[in-house]
Structure 1
Amino acid sequence: MRLAVTGAAGFVGRAVVRHLAETRPDVELVLADRAFDAPQAFETVTGDLTDPAMTQAVCRQDIDGVLHLAALPGGAAERDPGASRLANLEVPLALIEAMQGRRLVIAGSIAVFGAALPAHVDDATPPAPDSVYGTHKRMVELAFADAVRRNVLGGMVLRLPGIVARPAAAGGFGSAFLSDVFHAARSGSACTLPVAPDATSWLMSVRTCAANLAAAVLGDASQRDALTLPALRVRIGDLVAELASHGDIRAIGHVEEPAIRRSFGSYPSLATPRADALGMRHDGTLHALVETTLADI
């Protein structure tokens, strides 16, 4: 099997490539991104996916499946809706068209639910995006569902929760504080969290995320409707307390910003039976999530 991974030089992309190299050496990988900062052990394709020639290179006929991870982050999308339309809508639509008859898995986002969440979220919760990023992600979900309905495409869209820990001060991510707190605890450096200790978020380690994405693209199940991945609902105060067992949290504080609290710190209970039935999983416990995350940064 020959599999192409877009956004392969990014945070999640690197984890997916590492996971596949370790667990499925029989799979031939083609890595696609704007650039790579080091030589790769696999074939690479470099360029901007908004260029039709780049899409053609990623979706050439010897590619059996594509895992699409490349995206413009939410904060950057809100600042430049036109760029978001190109990267977060038109590129996935082009991949859906080009990969007909083959397999495509797209990394979606819980941003499709918006910030005004109900008291509980499950597979029946209707999307209600309230951001440029979430709206474009929802539009891709609808286009993908129609392709599966017409039986011209296999695969699924997976709604990713907060994935930790991104590189410190990752640009364009309003949720960057969820990763920055790990780096601060590891180094003992100062970190002011923009949410109070009782704020709650849905989190997953990048290692577990990579395993879920790899299973989706290498499997044969197809889903018309997007799948929300299982995630741990984490109270931020509990996360900081757990980090205290692994590092120095004395310089970590809280100054709540209401807008950040609404968008990234008010997540309710979550049930994902459809994803669970396909073998998708979260990290199990907060302790396991923290240990895994710290081991990978």
Structure 2
Amino acid sequence: MRIAVTGAGGFVGRAVVRELAARGVSDVLLVDRAFAARPSFEALAGDLADPTVFARVGQADAVLHLAALPGAAAEVDPAASRAINLDLPLSLIEAMAGRRLVLASSIAVFGGVLPRHVNDETVPVPASVYGTHKRMVELAFADAVRRGTVSGMALRLPGIVARPRGAGGFGSAFLSDIFHAARAGEPYVVPVAPEATSWLLSARAVARILVDALLSDATDGEAITLPALNIRIGTLVEALGEVGDTSGFTYAEDARRRAVFGSYPPLSTSRAEALGFRADADLDALIAAAFDG
């Protein structure tokens, strides 16, 4: 089976590549605008909007689509978000007719004001350009599954850690920067209060889930929210202090970032768990995975 992975040079993409290699998968095409290092599989450097590049991806038996414009960048440039986060996935859904497609969606579809508990029945109400475009793709994918023209699933990713420091375009970059500052023993101003809560998953854990979904025969038209640890930020800082140095950490809450990235309620993901998708075992496991890259 020929597999293609878009956005393969990105943070999550690199973790997926490692997972595919670890499982002995060999017939893989990696696609991204550029690769920082020589990939372990066949690689195609180019823009997915290029018809030649897109055609190569569309010839695969199964595609994992990770390429996206991050949320903060999407809010600044809605036209670019439409081209990258909406038009390209819609074209890919059409191109993959009769074959398998796994789409990386996002918890951004839920918007900024969440109910007291989020589960598989929670209705998405996006409140950003990024979240709206992701939700539109989810609906188009569900319709394609309903019509029987494509198989696979759309998976809503939570906060993934630890992204490279100062990850461009990600408003949630501080959730990863906390790890880097603790490891380096540097002072850091946490932009949310200690009682803020976020849904976090390590790159290693999300890569396992994405590859499981890609290699599976399961199909679900309704987007699936992935499991994650609901982490209190103060508890995370305390735990990081056990393996790094957080003595120079202080808190200065930014109300907007608290509302968007630090107000997450308890999460239930029974549909994902029924498929065998699992979050990191606990906070210590998440930290270990994040520090191991």
Identity in percent: 61
Pick the aligned partner of 1:93 from 62, 87, 90. Answer: 90
Code of the residue aligned with 1:160 in structure 2: it is: L
Give the partner amino acid of 1:100. A
* Deviations 1:20-57 (CA, angstroms, capped at 9, x unpaired): 1012x144110000011222221111211122332111
Q: Which residue of 2 aligns with 1:9?
A: 9
Match of 1:229 among 226, 243, 252: 226
TM-score where L is the length of structure 1: 0.97
CA apart distance, 1:136: 0.1
Structure 1: runs of 5+ lacking an equivalent: none
TM-score, structure 2 as length reference? 0.99
Which whole-Å CA distance do the structure 2 matches of 1:172 and 1:74 have between them? 6
Given that residues 111 and 128 in structure 2 are in contact (C-alpha distance below 8 angstroms), is that contact kept between their aligned partners in structure 1?
A: yes
Rounded to whole Å, the distance in 1 between the matches of 2:49 and 2:249 is 40
* Residues 26, 41 of structure 2: 8 Å contact kept: no
**Deviation, structure 1 residue 172:** 0.5
What is the rounded CA distance, in whole Å, between the counterparts of 2:96 and 2:276 in structure 1?
A: 25
The Cα shift of 1:236 comes to 0.1
Residue equivalent to 1:42: 41
Partner in structure 2 of residue 198 of structure 1 = 195
1:26-175 alignment, distance < 5 Å: 26-60=25-59, 63-175=60-172
2 CA distance for matches of 1:288 and 1:40? Answer: 27
Q: Which residue identity does 1:11 align to in structure 2? A: F
Whole-Å Cα distance in 1 between the matches of residues 38 and 228 of structure 2? 33
> What is the aligned length?
293
Q: Give the distance between the partners of 1:151 and 1:268, measured in 2 at CA.
A: 35
2:208 counterpart SS class: helix
RMSD: 0.8
